[in-house]
């Protein structure tokens, strides 16, 4: 069944040969692999990144995007190198192999909690944006229920349907950033000059903000076993990061030349303000139309992290079906939305906490596992499989 994970094979398989076939019904193409990572990266970052960069680096913030892109690519390749050593292993099995049952499970529990928190931040941030810009009078739990319906229908079917949905979302939304070219009317390119006017330190310190916006590449730990063409995993993740970098550069540079340096810091979501400034003879309030379509991207940004948590829980407890875990988590979201109505400052604080957790999960963790794995395989003299 498509609805049921092959986690029984994951839990009970005892040989590499049987492990190699355990994802035969849940494989994704290279294109789907790229688009899942891309969607997870640009979800919230496309809306808020120009504001975050302007606060610390001014109009030089676009340079930090390039530095963050380079760093994310390097760490992405480290993740692929880790998974290449034992291509038939999931992250869960790899941690058990390296650290033993209890330490390995403990590390994996931390990964599950990280994925749940990341999905929750995107979900509650989405509701906050929709309430702020479109329907301020609607109750949070109503929006939560409306968003949870498509999330449940897609996530319950597994990674193949998620991959197909990623393709659909890409086709539905790829035109949006380029429509911002209409906002270039009355722009001031002199705002970008002189380059480096804020100094080197603000640019380097702002890389932390761009790193947060590139979070999503760490999902390669989870997606790698499902990829049909594993030899192209490195190429695929470089493409995904590069797509994100291009989108970030477009929205950031246009924001910087459209708004005065002291003005952009007043807009938490400058991209929406750009669309608000677009005037067409037959259309007003263009930001509402944009945001209505962009909901597809925000939903797609939530699903990979949610699915990571469900897959982890299924593997951890040896369950064959992840749908019960999905129902429980979504019910908890609905319950939480009745009494947790985050303010703008709370949404910002949640994003900062996610950034800190992401720093360890996407940056510290891969480097540590790569170094530990190198020593592990050297000591045991195990060749790459």
DSSP one-letter string for 158-225: -HHHHHHHHHHHHHHHTTHHHHGGGGGTT--GGGGPSTTTT-HHHHHHHHHHHHHHTTTGGGHHHHGG
Q: What pLDDT sits at residue 285?
A: 79
Separation between Cα atoms, residue 251 and residue 76, nearest integer Å = 24
Separation between Cα atoms, residue 194 and residue 209, nearest integer Å = 22
- Domain assignment present for 11: no
- Domain assignment present for 143: yes
- Domain assignment present for 306: yes
- Domain assignment present for 191: yes
Q: What pLDDT sits at residue 383?
A: 56
- Domain assignment present for 15: no
Separation between Cα atoms, residue 132 and residue 130, nearest integer Å = 5
Q: What pLDDT sits at residue 278?
A: 83
Separation between Cα atoms, residue 361 and residue 365, nearest integer Å = 5
Instruction: Give residues with Cβ within 8 angstroms of 362, minimum separation 6.
Output: 75, 215, 217, 218
Instruction: Give residues with Cβ within 8 angstroms of 345, minimum separation 6.
Output: none
Number of domains the chain contains: 1
- Domain assignment present for 244: yes
- Domain assignment present for 2: no
Q: What pLDDT sits at residue 5?
A: 41
Q: Chunked in runs of 10, what are the mean pLDDT values of the chain (385 residues)? A: 39 39 74 96 91 90 93 96 88 91 92 96 95 91 95 94 96 87 85 82 84 92 93 95 95 93 90 86 81 93 95 86 91 95 92 92 93 88 58
Phi and psi at residue 384, to the nearest 5°: -65, 140
Q: What pLDDT sits at residue 382?
A: 62
Structure token pair of residue 384? 């790459």
Question: Residue 376 is part of a domain; what is its CATH number?
Answer: 1.20.1740.10
Domain containing residue 217: 30-380
Q: What pLDDT sits at residue 131?
A: 93
What's the number of CA atoms in the CB half-sphere (13 Å) around residue 61?
Answer: 32
Q: What pLDDT sits at residue 276?
A: 87
Contact of 66 with 245, CB cutoff 8 Å: yes
- Domain assignment present for 358: yes
Separation between Cα atoms, residue 30 and residue 35, nearest integer Å = 9
Residue 363 burial class via C-beta count within 10 angstroms: exposed 0-12, middle 13-18, buried 19 and up: middle
Separation between Cα atoms, residue 259 and residue 112, nearest integer Å = 40
């Amino acid at each position: 069944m498509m609805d049921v994970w092959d986690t029984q094979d994951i839990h009970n398989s005892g040989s590499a040969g049987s492990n190699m076939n355990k994802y035969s019904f849940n494989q994704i193409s290279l294109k789907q692999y790229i688009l899942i990572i891309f969607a997870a990266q640009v979800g919230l970052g496309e809306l808020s990144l120009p504001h975050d960069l302007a606060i610390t680096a001014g109009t030089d913030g676009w340079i930090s995007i390039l530095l963050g892109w380079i760093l994310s690519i390097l760490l992405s390749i480290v993740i692929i190198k880790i998974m290449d050593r034992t291509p038939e292993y999931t992250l869960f099995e790899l941690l058990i192999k390296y650290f033993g049952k209890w330490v390995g499970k403990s590390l994996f529990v931390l990964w599950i909690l990280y994925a749940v928190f990341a999905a929750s931040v995107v979900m509650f941030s989405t509701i906050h944006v929709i309430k702020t810009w479109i329907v301020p009078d609607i109750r949070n739990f109503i929006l939560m229920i409306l968003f949870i319906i498509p999330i449940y229908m897609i996530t319950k079917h597994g990674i193949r349907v998620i991959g197909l949905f990623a393709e659909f979302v890409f086709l539905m939304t790829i035109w949006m950033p380029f429509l911002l070219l209409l906002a270039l009317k009355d722009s001031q390119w002199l705002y970008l000059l002189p380059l480096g006017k804020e100094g080197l330190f603000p640019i380097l310190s702002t890389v932390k903000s761009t790193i947060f916006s590139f979070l999503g590449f760490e999902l390669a730990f989870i997606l790698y076993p499902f990829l049909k063409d594993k030899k192209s995993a490195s190429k695929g993740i470089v493409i995904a990061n590069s797509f994100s970098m291009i989108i970030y550069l477009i929205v950031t540079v246009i924001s910087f030349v459209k708004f005065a340096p002291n003005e952009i810091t007043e807009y938490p979501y400058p991209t929406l303000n750009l669309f608000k400034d677009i005037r067409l003879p037959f259309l007003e309030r263009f930001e509402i139309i944009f945001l209505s379509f962009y909901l597809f991207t925000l939903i797609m940004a939530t699903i990979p992290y949610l699915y990571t948590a469900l897959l982890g829980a299924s593997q951890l407890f040896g369950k064959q079906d992840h749908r019960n875990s999905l129902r429980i988590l979504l019910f908890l979201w609905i319950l939480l939305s009745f009494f947790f109505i985050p303010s703008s400052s709370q949404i910002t604080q949640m994003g900062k906490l996610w950034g800190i957790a992401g720093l360890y999960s996407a940056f510290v963790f891969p480097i540590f596992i790569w170094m530990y794995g190198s020593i592990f395989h050297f000591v045991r003299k195990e060749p790459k499989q």
